[in-house]
Amino acid sequence: MVARTLTAAVLLALLAFAAAAQSTDADREMARLLARPRQLLLPEELRGNCAGLTVTIKTHIDRLRALQKQAKQEQEGPAPTLFGDRPAAHDFAAEHERVQALNIVLDAKGCKPVNVDEELQKPAPTPTPPAPEQRKEPAAAGRSLLGR
């Protein structure tokens, strides 16, 4: 009887130790996954939820489209700087790395990552014009300020 109790206590202790080791491994894995994104992203972006991060990624993808178009124009024409640098190509690479970091954060949170290459192939969304406002006349429009 004492041997059974002692065996059960040892097994419970081993189980608790194994669970602690697993959570430590999971914490290390999360830290490893987020190491590079922490250098590229703002703290607010790291704390974002799935919907917010997805919207942020889509906004950055719109910027990537514009930078991609600008980089193609730079490549076809003369160098935009005296030293032959191509700033749009550099900006595109930096922005793409930022989007990839956001995607890593999405994946680490258990959210569905965005396929950046597929999104870049899609045409840019056209902004919808705001609906025209209807002017409402006040009830006393025909009266003067003195009420006469």
- Angle between helix 2-40 and 87-108 (nearest 10): 160
The values of phi and psi at residue 45, to 5°, are -70, -35
Residue-wise pLDDT tens digits, 83-107: 667 788 889 998 999 899 899 889 9
Is the full-model pTM beyond 0.85? Answer: no
Q: Which residues, including other chains, have CB under 8 Å from residue 43's CB and lie 6 or more apart?
A: none
Could you report the per-residue pLDDT of 41-99, keeping only the tens digit for each? Answer: 878 888 889 999 999 999 999 999 999 998 888 888 776 666 667 788 889 998 999 89
